[in-house]
């Protein structure tokens, strides 16, 4: 299907695939009925539980394929299942880059490089919509707003800048201006450059989290374990950094 050209040819292949899948579900239902009537207990309960879990997911995948391929409907991302085994997986689209699957993370860090907070997002929320909640979480955790802060260009907006200033953040710098003026963000061009460079340096920390602490790919199953995996990586990163900071 991936390498076939033409909507009509793809549709025929999808019909074949859906037919085979429906037949397989029928076989499973027949096997379930036969095993239930046979009175066999060994292993049946566990197998039946897996059937009860995966069958509705498979039927939903069939439904979304029929809506998209045969009815020409654009199925919203939050209604799609892209993984039977990790059904919580979200579709992540960043600009014009390739589509990725997983969950967005919002990280905040300080001058020391320690990760101060992390939020695992559901869905594909716009970065700009997560700026103020992350700032409010920081104030809730530490009791005071940061004196200065720098954020990725995706968080930039006039509303976010004004809201942060209203919360007593003195300098609010976004990595990309997005139509904002330097004098509105920071007290001087020098401060703007320093904070923007600080934000650029954070990319090295993110790269380290991916390469050394496993954040490029989660290997634990389920939503709760996904969150636990992210936090375990952050804690391991912070513990290692604590050791280096203490030794200096």
How high is the pLDDT of residue 100? 85
Per-residue confidence (pLDDT) for residue 96, from 0 to 100: 66
| Residues of the chain scoring pLDDT < 70 | 95-97, 248
Q: Are residues 165 and 191 in the same domain?
A: yes
Q: Does the residue 84 lie in any domain?
A: no
Give the pLDDT score at 40. Answer: 76
Q: Are residues 119 and 29 in the same domain?
A: no
The answer on 200 and 124 residing in a single domain is yes
The verdict on 127 and 62 lying in the same domain is no
Residues spanned by the domain of 39 = 7-75
Same domain, 127 and 161: yes
- In a domain? residue 1: no
In a domain, 182, yes or no: yes
Euclidean distance between CA atoms 248 and 234, whole angstroms: 21
Dihedral sign computed on CA atoms, order 105, 110, 112, 116: negative
**How many other C-beta atoms are found inside a 10 Å radius of the C-beta of residue 122?**
11
Residue 81 lies inside a defined structural domain of this protein: no
Residues 55 and 111 in one domain: no
Q: What is the pLDDT of residue 12?
A: 94
Q: What's the number of domains the chain is made of? A: 2
Contacts of 84 (CB under 8 A, 6+ apart): 54, 57, 58, 61
Residue 207 lies in a domain: yes
The owner of tokens 């997002």 is 121
Do residue 52 and residue 104 come from a single domain?
no
Closest of 161, 198, 201 to residue 177, by C-alpha: 161
In a domain, 188, yes or no: yes
CB of 104 within 8 A of CB of 125? yes
């Amino acid at each position: 299907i991936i390498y076939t050209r033409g909507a009509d040819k793809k549709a025929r292949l999808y019909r074949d695939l859906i037919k085979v899948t429906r037949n397989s579900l029928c076989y499973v239902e027949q096997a379930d009925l036969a095993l239930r009537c046979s009175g066999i207990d060994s292993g049946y309960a566990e197998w039946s539980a897996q059937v009860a879990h995966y069958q509705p997911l498979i039927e939903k995948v069939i439904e979304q394929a029929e809506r998209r391929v045969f009815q020409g409907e654009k199925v919203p991302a939050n209604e799609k299942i892209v993984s039977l085994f990790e059904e919580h997986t979200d579709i992540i689209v960043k600009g014009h880059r390739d589509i990725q699957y997983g969950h967005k993370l919002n990280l905040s860090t300080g001058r020391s490089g320690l990760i101060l907070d992390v939020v695992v997002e559901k869905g594909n929320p716009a970065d700009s919509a997560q700026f103020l909640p992350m700032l409010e979480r920081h104030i809730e955790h530490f009791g005071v707003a940061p004196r200065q802060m720098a954020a990725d260009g995706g968080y930039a907006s006039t509303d976010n800048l004004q809201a942060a200033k209203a919360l007593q953040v003195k300098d609010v710098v976004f990595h990309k201006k997005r139509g904002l003026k330097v004098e509105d963000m920071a007290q001087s061009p020098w401060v703007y450059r320093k904070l923007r460079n600080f934000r650029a340096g954070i990319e090295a920390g993110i790269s380290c989290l991916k390469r050394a602490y496993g954040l490029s790919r989660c290997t634990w199953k389920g939503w709760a374990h996904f969150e636990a995996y992210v936090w375990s990586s952050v804690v391991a990163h912070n513990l290692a950094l604590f050791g280096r900071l203490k030794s200096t």
